[in-house]
Amino acid sequence: MAVNAVTGGSVNVPKTQSHAPKLSLNAQNYLAYLESKFSDVNFYVGSAKFSSGIRDYNFDAVYNCFLCPELIEEMASDADVAAEYERIIWEMRAQMDNLHYGIQENGLGEYVASYAVEINDDGSVDYVIMLRDSIKGLNGNKDSEKESNLPKTIKAKSVNELFKTFNTLFGREESIHNPKGILA
C-alpha cells in the first residue's frame, strides 16, 4: 500500500514528488513500519487540515489515517509518543468496525464511502466519515438524488458523537443502535 502525501488539504501526491512534505529518513522508515503494522490502513501525510479537501482523495481502503509530518517525525524519534498514537490507530479500526455495523443496522451503510481518523497538527484526534458523492433514496424516495445539501464529511471528537451526528443527519436520531455496547 502506498503512503500518500496531502498538500494544501486537497491533493494526493506520492511522497516521492518534490512538492510532497519532506520527511527525514528516520520518519520515512517509521512510516513504512506503520504501513506494515497496519496493512489495512491507508496513511496520508500533510500539513493542512485534511478533511477540507477530503473528497479529492481516492480511497481504496476502508480505514484511512491522516497525520501531519511533524507528528510522524515525533513518533519516529519518541517511543512513548509512537505508542500513544499507534494505540489510537489500532483502536480506530475496532471502533470504526462497530460504527460501520451500527450504520448498517440503521440501513444507512450505502451512504458511507470510507472512515478515517485525523490526527491534527496539535495532536488532537477527529473521527471522520466520508460520504459517497451521490446519495440516492433519502426520505423513502428511491428515485431522488440529494448531493449538494449534505456535507462531504462528518467529523467528531469521538466515535459515539460521530455515530449520533451521522444518524441525525439522515433523520435516524430516534433509532440509534449501540452495537455490542462499544459506542459509549
Q: Which pLDDT score, from 0 to 100, does residue 9 have? A: 30
Has this prediction a pTM greater than 0.75? no
Sheet bearing 41-46, strands edge to edge: 11-14, 4-7, 41-46, 63-67, 112-119, 125-131, 153-156
In angstroms, what is the C-alpha Rg of the chain? 17
Question: Rounded to whole angstroms, how far apart are CA atoms 13 and 6?
Answer: 6
What gap in Å lies between CA 155 and CA 79, rounded to an integer?
28
Instruction: Read off the C-alpha cell for 156.
Output: 467528531
**Is 20 in contact with 13 (CB distance < 8 Å)?**
yes
User: 23 in helix, strand or coil?
Assistant: coil
Residue-level pLDDT, tens digit, the chain, 184 residues: 334 333 323 233 333 333 457 899 999 999 999 999 999 888 888 865 554 545 445 455 578 888 889 999 999 999 999 999 999 999 888 888 888 888 888 788 888 888 888 888 888 889 988 888 766 555 555 545 554 567 778 899 998 899 888 888 877 754 445 555 445 4
Question: Whole-angstrom Cα distance, residue 91 to residue 96?
Answer: 8
